[in-house]
Amino acid sequence: MQRRLSFVDKLICNADQALRTLVPTAANSIIPSPAEKKHHAELSEQEQKHIAGLMRINHTGEVCAQALYQGQALTAKLPEIREEMEQAAQEEIDHLVWCEERLNQLGSRTSLLNPIFYAASFSMGAAAGLVGDKWSLGFVAATEEQVCKHLSDHLQQLPEQDEKSRAILEQMLEDEAEHGSNALAAGGHEFSAPVKKLMTAMSKVMTQTTYRM
């Protein structure tokens, strides 16, 4: 019989997950990167720098997703919702690793601001879970909607020859859209347009800072 974790046990697990998320190369993906078999293109210095900025934004987005799901799993009331959050967090690990690998290939690094964004996202996730599972799931759906907008925009900005970054972002876009749909299907409350606009404004702060930092 599986032992039921206490609240303290869950906090320890969350601390471990935070370290795996924030420490470079600490996380391992289950699914290999879609970029592995793609052609390595010659990129100018300016193109390489811009792509690295985009991938850094996406990596930080995955850091925020990890924190959000972990925070929600900690305070979710229904066991099945908690399990769904934990499963989604595991799937996001693949995206996190893919982005980090691509950044390394581009001779760049992850954002220095990741610990701050992780802490903020974890707090928001935990608060959403305390309010209620339908609001927690609705927050996931609204967040994934924002992520999909960023990914679609970044795909348009990529140089035509950068097949590696494109393969990663296309797969991420497909997965994130599915996460959002699953959250609504599980009973998530769809947020109103004003709330989504506020979330868009907040996400701009993240993208503008992590592009260079």
Residue numbers belonging to the annotated binding site for Fe cation:
62, 92, 95, 144, 176, 179
Cα dihedral 57/116/76/190 (nearest 10): -50
Q: Are 171 and 34 in contact (CB under 8 A)?
A: yes
Long-range contacts, 39-45 (Cβ 8 Å, 24+): 39/163, 39/164, 40/164, 41/159, 41/161, 41/162, 41/163, 41/164, 42/161, 43/159, 43/161, 43/162
Compute how many other C-beta atoms are within 10 angstroms of the C-beta atom of residue 38.
Answer: 15
Q: Are 155 and 170 in contact (CB under 8 A)?
A: yes
Enclosing H/E stretch for 160: none
b/e per residue 178-208 (b: at least 16 CB within 10 A)? ebbebbbebebbebeeeeeeebeeebeebbe
Cite the annotated binding site by residue number: 62, 92, 95, 144, 176, 179
